[in-house]
Structure 1
Amino acid sequence: MKKWIIFIVIFIVVIFGLLIKVYFTSVDPVKAAEKKAVALANKEISIKEVEDFHIYNGIETVNVIEGKNNKGEKIIVWIPEKSKKVYVKKAKDGLSKEEAIQKLLQEKSPKKVISVRLGMEKNIPLWEIYYRSNNNLINYYYVHFDTGEWLKKIENL
């Protein structure tokens, strides 16, 4: 009986160790992309603090950094993967996440908003809102970051 308990404990520890290794292996490319994007952004504008980083995959891949500059102002940096051109805007100069959701709610009645994130397509900064409709279908709604205008919709997937 003792051998079975020891075997089970060792098995659980090995599985747990493998899961941790898989997690860190999967996070490494994102961390490397973040490090590269922050270094590139720091050539254009000094980023004092990085609050969020994500990779937007739309028409092209764009690295998006949300953070603060040396003056403590919230900034957003978009870096398209191909061109490596750095686009910087102050967060206060565009729509907030909540305002983007309000634009969606003016037009649609989503059952559930799943995610709202920044992105860029054709050098236009935008908010991508991913939501489920009342018939439980997946929908995307894109709002211009600067003006709040609707850019495009992908519905009923």
Structure 2
Amino acid sequence: MGKKTLIFTLIFGIIFVTAILAGANVYQTAMNQKESGHKQAAETAKKEADLKEVDSVETFVGKEKQYIVAGKNQKGEKMYVWVPADNKQKTIFKKAADGITSRQAARAVQDEGLMSTLKEVHLAREGNVLLWEVTYLNQDEQYSLSYVDFINGKIHKNITP
């Protein structure tokens, strides 16, 4: 019985280590794809929006893929830069003070009575319309999205499964 137990343990250990390595490889590949383009987007934002420093870069994929760069300009003002992955579209940048905050966007959705539990709020873009994407659970506990206009705070559209 000792020999069978040793063989079983070795085989199980090899399978276990292989599974962990494969999982780590898949995770690393997914993260690299998610972050590919971030460095280029940050450089574009620095050049086109005259950013002095970049605080974060996020990827938004809607109708078009966008990189949202948050940072500060030469005057120290907080800026948002929407950098399209497609070079045919133009980069748009705004001072954070020129639009509503993520908290105000979430409040707009909550005031409509759509939200049960807030999950996330991120900047987004559809064409030339700058948006906040508010992800939440609705009253039926379904994941839902609302797009709130960055400039005027009006709900642009709601998506519920």
TM range (shorter): 0.7 to 0.9
The residue matched to 2:115 in structure 1 has which SS?
coil
- Out of 113-122 and 48-57, give the one that drifted further: 48-57
1:12 pairs with 2:16:
yes
Shift of residue 71, structure 1, vs aligned partner: 4.1
Q: State the match for 2:128 in structure 1.
A: 123
1:32-72 per-residue CA deviation (whole Å, 9 max, x = no partner) reads 21122112222213444433322222232222112233444
Aligned to 1:100: 105
**Contact 2:124 2:131 survives alignment (8 Å):** yes
Q: Which residue of 1 aligns with 2:40?
A: 36
Counterpart AA for 1:29: Q
2:140 partner SS: coil
Q: Which moved more, 1:8-17 or 1:41-50?
A: 41-50
The residue identity in structure 2 corresponding to 1:154 is I
| Shift, 1:9, TM fit | 2.7
For residue 137 of structure 1, the aligned residue among 132, 142, 154 is: 142
Q: 1:109 to 1:32 in 2, by over 3 A?
A: closer
> In the alignment, what sits opposite 1:25?
29
SS state of the match for residue 10, structure 1? helix
TM-score, normalised via structure 1 length? 0.84
* Structure 1 runs not aligned, ≥5 long: none
Greater Cα shift, 103-112 or 5-14: 5-14
Q: Distance in 1 between matches of 2:153 and 2:114?
A: 18
- Distance, in Å, in 2 between the alignment partners of 1:13 and 1:42 is 43
- Rounded Cα–Cα distance in structure 2 between residues aligned with 1:24 and 1:125: 31
> Structure 2: any 5+ residue segments left out of the alignment?
none
Q: TM-score, normalised by structure 2?
A: 0.82
Cross-structure match for 1:64: 68
Q: Distance in 2 between matches of 1:27 and 1:62?
A: 17
Aligned residue number for residue 85 of structure 2? 81
- Cα RMSD between the aligned structures? 2.1
> Do the aligned partners of 2:133 and 2:148 also contact (CA within 8 Å) in 1?
yes
The answer on whether the counterparts of 2:46 and 2:52 sit within 8 Å (CA) in structure 1 is no
**Matched residues, number:** 156
Q: Shift of the alpha carbon at 1:99? A: 1.0
